């Protein structure tokens, strides 16, 4: 009887010990890092994916080896899994994704291939060998909003946004907060197109804003159309995802951009050295750590550009864009004076602040 009990106790102890050691063990990469990238769209989509591809090319130069990629892998597990497995079979041990819709498939792959590291920009899932990353784009859009507020003559700004999600709503709100820092009377009219990638709707939305008399158009959609319309109308615009000067050189005053090598290079290094520890709720990177601004166009006065860059430094040092009091359109206080919203509150941002014309649903 005692012997039996002892055996059970010993077995339990050993099992517990194994479990504990497995948990404490940091992710170890076998061999040299061999990253490969999976894009959900074409590499020259002009926005999100193109910013990723440009980072990949810069990283290749910096790292001295090639990073293979595959384009247009749609956001379904039956397409993502074979693409990732093909790379793993070829000896790649760091698989990088590119989309929100990859979250579940990457979670599944990470569990099945514990010796492979998975990174997924715009994803939502995390694990011992899986990290999702998104940028605090409210910081970069806030800085672009400052530029917009400073160069607007009428104080009437416009914004073309995609879908009313937290991560879009925060860019709209931060844009106005930034604009009001330079012009306290600034107003922002936002149009949600309800699509990420529909240039016909984006053109109509930007045109409607022009007709309403705005003189700077900001954006958070996937094509450069709002900037192009701004240039046609002889007004200014600020871009998102990439430096939009390429498409509308005369109009683009500033762009909120992705600089993925800022995040990927140090992360690859830490994965290789064995010190990588994925954040359990995802990496949420600040300006300068994966998201940044391309500032500024020729129409922006030098002192404005300097102010914006000084504010960028202040944010890197810890300043929060949504420092209270933040009041929504209905007059309800959402962030108390002196307080700052938690990351959870940011992701769930389901309101527009006072001074924004437009609605979420």
* 287 strand-pairing partners: 291
Draw the binding track, 53-92, toward other proteins (x: CB under 8 A; -: no contact).
-------------------x--------------------
Nearest-CA neighbor of 179 among 307, 298, 61, 84? 307
Q: Which stretch binds other proteins (CB under 8 A): 20-28, 87-95, 147-155, 204-212?
A: 204-212
For residue 23, state whether it binds other proteins (rule: CB under 8 A): no
Establish if 311 lies at the interface with other proteins (CB under 8 A). no
If the CB atoms of residues 127 and 358 are measured against other proteins, the closer one turns out to be 358
Decide if residue 166 touches other proteins (CB under 8 A): no
Nearest CA-CA partner of 106 in 88, 271, 31: 88
SS3 content of the chain, % helix, strand, coil (to 5): 45, 20, 40
Q: Does 197 interact with other proteins (rule: CB under 8 A)?
A: yes
Stretch near other proteins under the rule CB under 8 A, chosen from 27-35, 168-176, 202-210, 275-283: 202-210
Shortest CB 96 distance to other proteins, Å: 21
> Is 201 a binder of other proteins (CB under 8 A)?
yes
Q: Applying CB under 8 A, which of residues 191, 271, 291, 295 lies at the interface with other proteins? A: 191
CA distance 201 to 206: 9
Return the closest-CA partner of residue 87 out of 106, 104, 101, 103.
106
Say which residue the tokens 């170890």 belong to. 28
- Of 117, 205, 264, 294, the residue at the interface with other proteins (CB under 8 A) is 205
> Quick check: 233 binds other proteins (CB under 8 A)?
no
Copy the structure tokens of residue 343: 């990351």
Angle 39-168-331 (CA atoms, 0-180°, nearest 5)?
Answer: 170
Alpha helices (H) along the chain: 2-24, 48-63, 77-89, 103-112, 137-151, 166-182, 199-211, 225-233, 260-273, 302-316, 343-347
Position among 207, 265, 288, 345 found at the interface with other proteins (CB under 8 A): 207
Residue 340 binds to other proteins (criterion: CB under 8 A): no
**Interaction site with other proteins (CB under 8 A):** 41-42, 44-46, 50, 72, 158, 189-195, 197-201, 203-205, 207-209, 211-212, 222-225, 228, 247-248, 357-361
């Amino acid at each position: 009887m005692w012997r039996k009990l002892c055996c059970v106790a010993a077995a339990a102890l050993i099992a517990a010990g194994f479990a504990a050691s497995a948990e404490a063990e940091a992710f170890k990469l076998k061999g040299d890092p061999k990253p490969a990238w999976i894009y959900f769209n074409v590499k020259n989509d002009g926005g999100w994916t193109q910013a990723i591809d440009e980072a990949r090319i810069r990283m290749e130069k910096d790292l001295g080896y090639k990073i293979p990629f595959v384009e247009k892998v749609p956001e379904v597990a039956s397409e993502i899994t074979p693409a990732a497995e093909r790379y793993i079979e070829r000896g790649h041990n760091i698989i990088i994704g590119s989309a929100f819709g990859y979250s579940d498939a990457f979670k599944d792959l990470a569990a099945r291939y514990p010796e492979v590291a998975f990174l997924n920009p715009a994803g939502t899932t995390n694990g011992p060998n899986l990290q999702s990353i998104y940028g605090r784009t409210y910081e970069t859009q806030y800085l672009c909003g400052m530029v917009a507020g400073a160069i607007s003559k009428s104080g009437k700004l416009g914004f073309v946004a995609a879908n009313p999600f937290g991560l879009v709503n925060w860019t709209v709100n931060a844009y106005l907060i930034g604009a009001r820092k330079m012009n306290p009377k600034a107003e922002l009219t936002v149009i949600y197109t309800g699509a990420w990638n529909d240039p016909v709707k984006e053109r109509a939305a930007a045109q409607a804003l022009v007709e309403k008399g705005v003189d700077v158009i900001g954006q958070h959609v996937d094509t450069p159309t709002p900037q192009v319309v701004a240039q046609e109308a002889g007004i200014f615009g600020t871009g998102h995802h990439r430096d939009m000067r390429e498409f509308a050189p005369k109009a683009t005053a500033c762009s909120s951009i992705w600089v993925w090598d800022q995040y990927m290079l140090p992360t690859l290094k830490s994965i290789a050295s064995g010190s990588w520890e994925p954040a359990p709720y995802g990496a949420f990177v600040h300006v300068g750590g994966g998201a940044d601004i391309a500032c500024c166009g020729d129409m922006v006065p030098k002192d404005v550009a300097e102010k914006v860059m000084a504010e960028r430094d202040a944010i890197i040092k810890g300043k929060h864009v949504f420092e209270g009091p933040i009041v929504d359109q209905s007059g309800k206080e959402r962030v108390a004076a002196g307080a700052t919203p938690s990351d959870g509150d940011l992701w769930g941002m389901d309101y527009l602040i006072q001074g924004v014309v437009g609605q979420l649903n």
